[in-house]
Chain A
Amino acid sequence: MKKHSDILGNPHLLLALSAASAFGLSVNAYGHEGEGSAGGVISGMSHPVSGLDHVVAMVAVGVWGAQLGKPAIWLLPVAFPMVMAIGGFLGLIGMPLPFVEIGIALSAIVLGSMVLAEAKPPIGVALAIVAVFAVFHGHAHGTELPENESGLLYSIGFVVCTGLLHAVGITIGIAHIWKRGRPFLRALGGAVALLGLYFLWSALT
């Protein structure tokens, strides 16, 4: 409880997280969104939420970060976009990365298991785990990016949406500070891990 008291005691931060989560969970308003600059941003924002495998892994990163407490709660969301962009960069320039789909499935299994077990490895280990999987997620996005989009605007939408998914995870993960919230989070982690097993099965068959 004490560990997280600074988060609960900061109404601005809570408000920002709630707003970010609301954005992350909202659906698109279809007002000619395909035209001009907005098309690139909306298209980029749609991409990370178009695959359940990405969504559960991003949310799990946020939840695990919240369980780990400071400084991981902030370090993981700071590190993830940068490392994911390295993967995206490799995908964009055509650098092949083997077993991408398997890596993404494993990310859901591992991150879900970490949340399920409330695992608290050293911060360096946690960062390394997240960074490795971020490369796979980024690479998959990088190779799937559509043509004829504004690269910069698409990237803005894509990165912001990924960050908002982390914010959703962190907001959910704050339930960790309540006694009754912990089993809920562990169950959530178990569900993510099970989904990961399904993704792995799909990738292998």
Chain B
Amino acid sequence: VRSRRSIFTAGFLIPAALTHRAEAHLVSTELGPFYDGALHPLVTAEDLLTILAFALFAGLGSVERGRRCILGFAGGWTIGVIAGFGAHASEFQLPIASAAVLIVAAIAVAVNLRMPSPLLVGIALLVGMGRGAMNGAAARGADGQWLSVVGIACGVSVLMVMIAGFSVWLRRRRAQIALRVAGSWIGAIALLKIGWELQAGWQ
């Protein structure tokens, strides 16, 4: 027991002695665009809702299917961001189409739709690419845009994994209905969003 305690103590003390100064000010690390990208999905309601819908959908099915969905979605998003760098922001701002896609995804969650895994991955890939392209078009020309791609990819992946993991946890505790209710809420929000957009367009 004493030797174990010594190993643990040494394990904490040696790294503590070898540590460097904490780089609290990100300017000096030049990693700002990475963190900007990583936080982007959290601070953009449209992105967050789309991630939420697909993560809930990934969590509703089998774990294997969920993993593929996450990979397809996050991979598509990353490809989309890179593709979006080549476009003008206005070309990829399609609020009504985005909301319509969100409605379909949300209804799929609300009714607990079962679909073949390749189809699910294909849809996740396409939707991820679409949202990613909008991110890329908006971030085009910004400083450190390639670092922001890495950040966005990490942010989307981590969020997807966390929400899908929580969904699986809920599903295994017979609280699957909570996920379906959340799907219904997202669908309702997306439909109202279309109404707002149409209203704004007509005014």
A89 close to B184 (CB less than 8 A): no
| B5 CB-CB contact with A under 8 Å | no
User: Contacts A12-B175, A13-B175 hold; do A74 and B193 have CB atoms under 8 A apart?
Assistant: no
Residues of A7-31 contacting chain B, CB below 8 A? 10, 12-13, 16
Is B36 an interface residue when CB atoms closer than 8 A count as contact? no
169-194 of chain B: CB within 8 A of chain A: 170, 173-175, 177-178, 180-181, 183-185, 187-189, 191-194
CB of A13 to closest CB in B, whole Å: 5
Q: Which among B175, B194, B199 is the interface contact of A16 at CB below 8 angstroms? A: B175
Which bracket fits the contact residues of B? Answer: 20 to 34
Interface string of A127-144 (1 = CB under 8 A from B): 000000000000000100
Among B173, B181, B200, contact of A12 (Cβ-Cβ < 8 Å) = B173
Given the contacts A16-B178, A77-B181, A163-B185, A85 and B191 also touching, CB distance less than 8 Å:
yes
Partner of A159, one of B110, B177, B185, B197: B185
Chain A residue with the shortest CB-CB distance to B187? A82
Minimal beta-carbon separation of B77 from chain A (angstroms) = 19
Q: Does A193 contact B (CB under 8 A)?
A: no
> In whole Å, how far is B112's beta carbon from the nearest beta carbon of chain A?
10
**Which of A149-157, A179-187, A196-204 lies at the interface?**
A149-157
The answer to whether the Cβ of B45 comes within 8 Å of any Cβ in the partner chain is yes
* B-side interface mostly: helix
Task: Decide if A89 touches B185 in the complex (CB within 8 Å).
Answer: no
Is A89 a contact partner of B181 (Cβ separation < 8 A)? no
Count of chain A residues with a beta carbon within 8 Å of a chain B beta carbon: 35
> How long is the Cα–Cα vector from A78 to B184 in the complex, in angstroms?
6
> Which of chain B's residues have a CB closer than 8 A to the CB of A86?
191
- Which residues from B are CB-within-8-Å of A89? 191-192, 194-195
Shortest distance between the CB of A102 and any CB in chain B (Å): 23
Q: Evaluate contact between A151 and B181: CB separation under 8 angstroms.
A: no
Complex Cα–Cα for A57 and B192 (A)? 21
Cβ-defined contact, B195 with A88, below 8 A: yes
Check: B31 CB closer than 8 A to any chain A CB. Answer: no
Minimal beta-carbon separation of A92 from chain B (angstroms): 3
Q: Chain A residues near B177 (CB, 8 Å)?
A: 74, 78
**Nearest A residue to B169, CB-CB:** A12
Q: Which 9 A-B pairs have the closest CB atoms?
A: A151-B196, A92-B195, A85-B188, A155-B192, A81-B188, A89-B195, A85-B191, A74-B177, A78-B184
Q: A13-B173, A153-B45 are in contact. List 8 more A-B contacts (CB 8 A).
A: A10-B173, A12-B173, A90-B195, A92-B192, A92-B198, A151-B200, A159-B185, A163-B181
CB pairs A–B below 8 angstroms (27 shown): A13-B178, A74-B177, A77-B181, A78-B180, A78-B181, A79-B184, A81-B185, A81-B188, A82-B187, A82-B188, A85-B188, A88-B192, A89-B195, A90-B195, A91-B195, A92-B192, A92-B196, A92-B198, A93-B199, A145-B196, A150-B45, A151-B196, A152-B45, A155-B188, A156-B45, A156-B189, A160-B185
